[in-house]
Amino acid sequence: MISLTSPVETRAHGWPAGVKLAALCAATLLLFAVEDLAWQIAFCAGMLVLYALPGRTFLRVGLGRLRMLWPFVALIVLWHLLTDDTVAGLVIALRMVTAVGLANLVTMTTKLSDMMAVVRWLASPLRRFGVETRSLELAVALVVRFTPVLAAKGQMLSLAWRARSRRRSGWRIVMPFTVLAIDDAEHVAEALRARGGL
pLDDT in tens, 160-187: 888 888 777 777 788 888 888 888 888 8
Q: Please tell me the total count of domains within the chain.
A: 2
Q: 111 vs 151, which has greater pLDDT?
A: 111
Question: Where does residue 110 fall: left (phi above 0), alpha (psi -120 to 50 degrees), or beta otherwise?
Answer: beta
Instruction: Please list the alpha-helical segments (H only) found in 66-110.
Output: 70-82, 86-108
Angstrom CA distances, 76 to 79, 88, 144, stand at 5, 9, 25
C-beta of residue 97 within 8 angstroms of C-beta of residue 125? no
**Are 77 and 24 found together in one domain?**
yes
CA distance 190 to 193: 5
The tens digit of pLDDT for each residue in 122-154 reads 888 888 887 777 777 777 777 777 777 777 788
Residue 59 lies in a domain: yes
pLDDT at 93: 92
Of 44, 67, 57, 46, nearest to 9 (Cα)? Answer: 57
pLDDT score for 1 = 46
**Would you mind telling me the total number of residues written for the chain in this entry?**
198
Q: Is residue 21 domain-shared with residue 62, that is, in the same domain?
A: yes
Range of the domain at 66: 15-110
Same domain, 22 and 93: yes
Residue 85: pLDDT over 70: yes
Q: Looking at the predicted structure, is the pLDDT value of residue 53 above 80? A: yes
Identify whether residues 61 and 145 lie together within a single domain.
no
Domain membership of residue 175 (yes or no) is yes
Q: What is the mean pLDDT of residues 16-32?
A: 92
Residue 125 C-beta-side C-alpha neighbours within 13 Å: 1
- pLDDT surpasses 50 at 61: yes
Position 23 scores a pLDDT of 93
Quick check: 111 pLDDT over 70? yes
Nearest-angstrom CA–CA distance, 56 and 62: 10
Q: What is the pLDDT of residue 190?
A: 86
What is the rounded CA–CA span in Å between residue 50 and residue 140? 25
pTM of the model as a whole: 0.73
Task: Give kind and range of the element (H or E) at residue 114.
Answer: helix 112-127
For the cut 90, the answer to whether the pLDDT of residue 112 exceeds it is no
Concatenate the DSSP letters of all residues of 160-187 into one string.
HHHHH-SS--GGGGHHHHHHHHHHHHHH
> Which of 78, 110, 142 is the endpoint of a domain?
110
As a whole number of angstroms, the distance between CA 27 and CA 42 comes to 13
Name the average pLDDT for the chain: 84
Q: Are 157 and 176 in contact (CB under 8 A)?
A: yes
Residue 8 falls inside a structural domain: no
Tell me which DSSP letter residue 110 carries: S
Average of per-residue pLDDT across 83-100: 92
- Single out the residue in 110, 143, 175 at which a domain terminates: 110
